[in-house]
Amino acid sequence: MTTTIPPQENALLALQQEWRERHAALWQTMLQRDKQPPPTPMVQPEPGDRRFNHPAWRMSPIYDYLHQAYLLNAQYLKRAIELFPSPDTLARKRLQFATRQFVDALAPSNFAATNPEFIQKAIETHGESIRRGLANLIADMEKGRISMTDDSAFEVGRNLAITPGAVVYENELIQLIQYAPLTDTVAKRPFLIVPPCINKYYILDLQPENSFVRYVVEQGQTVFLISWRNPQADLGHLTWDDYLEKGPLAALEVVREISRVDEVNALGFCVGGTILASALAVAKARGDAGVTSLTLLTTLLDFTDTGEIGLFVDEQSVAQREATIGKGGLLTARELSSTFSALRANDLIWQYVVGNYLKGDKPAPFDLLYWNSDSTNLPGPFAAWYLRHLYLENSLRVPGKLEMCGVHADLGKVDMPHFILATREDHIVPWQSSYLGRKHLGGPSTFVLGASGHIAGVINPAAKNKRSHWVNDSNTPDAERWLAGATEVPGSWWSRWSEWLKQFAGGEVPARGRLGSKKHPPGEPAPGRYVKEKAL
């Protein structure tokens, strides 16, 4: 009787044989090498992997073999998981994610005994690097997180978030900032920015040379921006509806009153875009959206594919959230930060473990990483609703299915022209998923795909004009078909978007010297106090 071996089992057997042969070849290469290493390592790291770039990894036969054997094993495990015979796609992806965490954690670069850079640095500094590394470790343990940058180099309001402006309205959840004009004339229609509530708004207003807010003001826009509160225990009762009502819906009313107009232009970034689009669907159901054009940056409206974040969301985990914080409490900043860091562990965890603790270095000042470490809490009811209805059930895309703020909302009724930016290497909002928003919104659609990731692809100043972006006038529902017909354009997307926005200016008016209005007078200067609140 002949036994048929399943194709997957055949493939796994072939992979195991290849793994054994490559290990044998690597061992022979190490035995036969002289003092100088071969010109090209037998096992190469993946593109962008810089963990073993230092010459010390190649000069010693021991460390040369050690790091190449590790890479060989890592490649084997990655390929073996792809052959895992499971009909459950989610289970396979979770296994792939868990395997990557395991493999990344066990890299020889992460341990003193197997990292030649640690030994070399200790000898060169006569042990001082070890003392500094222990001091860094103790300081980070007291801080409760790994240091990614020199925190002392930055301060919100001193050298971050310094575009001139003032708070013109606040409630328990938001401060609304109006920025001072930098041009003699401005667009008649003002411009409202809704940043993500899961992070601090100043990612859009870091320093003058890379501030998106300042750029928009310089383009002759009267800019208003929502600064979300960093919720503490007293705000742990706030819901998704509260964020819509007290966030964009309240801000739109104030902006229209101050500017004496019926409509404004609006932009949402990441979950801020999801909140803004949801708020506009509510406003449309009530009979008045008050928005002429909509810009969405790296935003999910269709949660069919949420990337690796979706691996943390299933019925059991969401039910557990609902039972613990769904009626009140906080999803803490520390938990959120740990989750996002795990998505890019080599870049956001192990790089700093090696640099801070093994080498005893101080991380260099970097404004973006300072912002990344300045985390925020989320109210439990808001977070549980968001996870249940959007990430798990993907209900926002279904017309009329979700009841928000007392109405059944339909994204298709959000019919103003919209500009959607996604970024090609985004690990938080896959660009193909962002693209799906085009078919759920009404109105003329413009889609642009930026280079780089979730943050660097957005914060790409026009003055530096780095990277590139892709454009295509096609409205095809298929994202990959859109990309196949797209043209790559060198430089930042900011200038292209700014030109698109000008058509919705409603004319020009002289810039007003005074911020706010009699009803909403200017209060504390930007950036306001809400953005300075730290998560406990």
Q: Is the pLDDT of residue 354 over 80?
A: yes
Query: Residue 461's pLDDT is what?
Result: 94
Residues 180 and 75 in one domain: no
Strand order through the sheet with 165-170:
165-170, 174-179, 223-228, 191-194, 264-269, 291-297, 418-423, 445-450, 468-471, 487-490
Please identify which of the residues 148, 216, 255, 270 carries the catalytic annotation.
270
Query: Residue 289's pLDDT is what?
Result: 76
Report the pLDDT averaged over residues 487-510.
Answer: 97
Residues 77 and 192 in one domain: no
Tens-digit pLDDT profile for residues 210-265: 999 999 999 999 999 999 999 999 999 999 999 999 999 999 999 999 999 999 99
Q: Is the pLDDT of residue 9 over 80?
A: no
Q: From the CB of residue 160, how many other CB atoms can be counted at a distance below 10 Å?
A: 22
Q: Which range of residues forms the domain containing residue 225?
A: 171-332+377-532
Burial category of 203 from C-beta neighbours within 10 Å (exposed 0-12, middle 13-18, buried 19 and up)? buried
Residues 59 and 180 in one domain: no
Half-sphere exposure of 194 (CA within 13 A, CB side): 32
Q: Is the pLDDT of residue 200 over 90?
A: yes
What's the token pair of residue 350?
């192990």
Q: From the CB of residue 227, how many other CB atoms can be counted at a distance below 10 Å?
A: 26
Q: How confident is the model at residue 193 (pLDDT cuts 50, 70, 90)?
A: very high
Residue 296 resides in a domain: yes
Residues 213 and 305 in one domain: yes
Residues 43 and 187 in one domain: no
Query: Residue 1's pLDDT is what?
Result: 47
Residues 179 and 79 in one domain: no
Instruction: Give the single-character DSSP code of 436.
Output: T
Residues 318 and 418 in one domain: yes
Q: Is the pLDDT of residue 520 over 50?
A: yes
Q: Tell me the C-alpha distance between 350 and 345, whole Å.
A: 6
Residue 495 resides in a domain: yes
Q: Tell me the C-alpha distance between 5 and 10, whole Å.
A: 6
Lowest-pLDDT range of 37-41, 62-66, 344-348, 367-371: 37-41
Tens-digit pLDDT profile for residues 366-378: 999 999 999 999 9
Residue 437 resides in a domain: yes
Instruction: Give the β-pairing of 418-423 and 445-450.
Output: parallel
Mean pLDDT, the chain, rounded, equals: 94
CA nearest to 235, candidates 226, 224, 247: 247
Residues 69 and 179 in one domain: no
197 is catalytic: no
Domain final residue pick, 67, 94, 121: 94
Domain final residue pick, 43, 69, 94: 94
Angle 293-298-299 from CA coordinates, rounded to 5°? 70
Placement of tokens 């010693």 in the chain: 60
Q: What is the CATH number of the domain that holds 382?
A: 3.40.50.1820
Q: How confident is the model at residue 38 (pLDDT cuts 50, 70, 90)?
A: confident
Residue 2 resides in a domain: no
CA nearest to 200, candidates 147, 239, 161, 248: 161
Residue 366 resides in a domain: no
Q: Which amino acid is at 311?
A: L
How remote is the C-alpha of 290 from its chain's centroid? Answer: 29
How remote is the C-alpha of 266 from its chain's centroid? Answer: 20
Q: Which amino acid is at 146?
A: I
Report the pLDDT averaged over residues 282-311.
Answer: 94
Q: Tell me the C-alpha distance between 384 and 240, whole Å.
A: 9
Residues 416 and 324 in one domain: yes
| Residues 142/381, Cβ–Cβ less than 8 Å | no
The share of the chain scoring above pLDDT 90, in percent, equals: 85
Q: Tell me the C-alpha distance between 159 and 175, whole Å.
A: 20
Tens-digit pLDDT profile for residues 49-82: 999 999 999 988 999 999 999 999 999 999 998 8
Q: Give residues with Cβ within 8 angstroms of 42, minimum separation 6.
A: 22, 25, 26, 29, 68
Report the pLDDT averaged over residues 327-331.
Answer: 96
Instruction: Give the single-character DSSP code of 5.
Output: P
Residue 128 resides in a domain: no
Cα dist from 239 to 383, 445, 489, whole Å: 8, 31, 42
| Residues 460/494, Cβ–Cβ less than 8 Å | yes
Q: Is the pLDDT of residue 7 over 70?
A: no
Residue 105 resides in a domain: no
Residues 227 and 81 in one domain: no
Lowest-pLDDT range of 93-97, 156-160, 501-505: 93-97
CA nearest to 527, candidates 241, 212, 158, 215: 158
Q: Is the pLDDT of residue 6 over 70?
A: no
Q: Residue 403 is inside which H or E element, if any? A: strand 403-404
Residue 313 resides in a domain: yes
Structural domain count, the chain: 2
Instruction: Give the single-character DSSP code of 10.
Output: H
| Residues 425/453, Cβ–Cβ less than 8 Å | yes
Domain final residue pick, 66, 94, 122: 94
Residues 84 and 228 in one domain: no
